[in-house]
Amino acid sequence: MNHLNLVLQKYYHEGDFLLSSGQWGTDYLDLWPYMLNPEGRRVLSQGLYNCLMENPEIQFDCVGGMEMASLPMAMMISDVFSVPAFVVRKTRKPHGTKKLYEGDKPFGRILLCDDVLSTRQSVMNCVRILRNHCCDDDVTFAGIIAICDRGESSWNTEIPVISLTNIEDIRRVRPGYDQHS
C-alpha cells in the first residue's frame, strides 16, 4: 500500500462538491493543508522527484502552471531540479507590469503542474495562455505532473501526463471502502 495514499486520505472528503472545472463531484481532495505543511512539502518534494526520475523522457527547462494550485508544486520542483519556476495568472495583473505570469518568462521545454487533475481544463487554459501571450514560438510542453489524477478526462494530448497517485487509490485506503458501491 502506497504511504502517500494513506497520508492523503486525511485530505479526502466525501459529499457534494463543486470542482474547479465547474463540474460537481461526490468527493474532493483538499491538498492545500498538506502542501502548506513543512512535512507535507518534504514528502511531496520527494514524491515529485521520484516520479520525474521514473519518467526520464520528461526533460524540462522550467516548471509552472496556473495560479494557485501549481505554485507550491512548481516551487518544490524548482528547488529539487534547480530550474526556474513561474505561475500563470488567470487574469492579467491590473497594475505594475500587468503581466500574465510571475517568475521568469517560461522558455524551452516546459513542465506544467497541477495539484489535482480532473477535466484538465486548468492545464489546457495554461497552455493556451502561454502559447498566446507569454512564450516564444519555440517552446514545447515536456509534460504535465500532478499529485493526483482523478481520471475523469477523455482529453487526448501529445503532452505526457504523470501523477503521484490517482483518486481511486486514495479511495481504496479509506476505512469502509467498498469497490462495488
Tell me the pLDDT of the chain (181 aa) as tens digits: 467 877 888 898 999 998 877 888 888 999 999 999 999 999 999 999 999 999 999 999 999 999 888 999 999 999 999 999 999 998 888 888 888 899 988 999 999 999 998 877 888 889 999 988 878 788 999 999 999 998 876 566 789 999 999 988 888 887 766 665 5
Domain ranges of the chain: 3-172
Nearest residue to 4 (alpha-carbon basis) of 147, 177, 179? 147
Sheet of 109-117: strand order equals: 101-103, 85-88, 62-66, 109-117, 140-149, 161-166
Count of CB atoms within 10 A of residue 174's CB?
A: 14
pLDDT of residue 177: 61
Q: Is 29 exposed, middle or buried (0-12, 13-18, 19+ CB in 10 A)?
A: buried
pLDDT of residue 178: 63
Q: Does domain 3-172 have CATH number 3.90.1170.10?
A: no
What's this model's pTM, rounded to 2 decimal places? 0.89
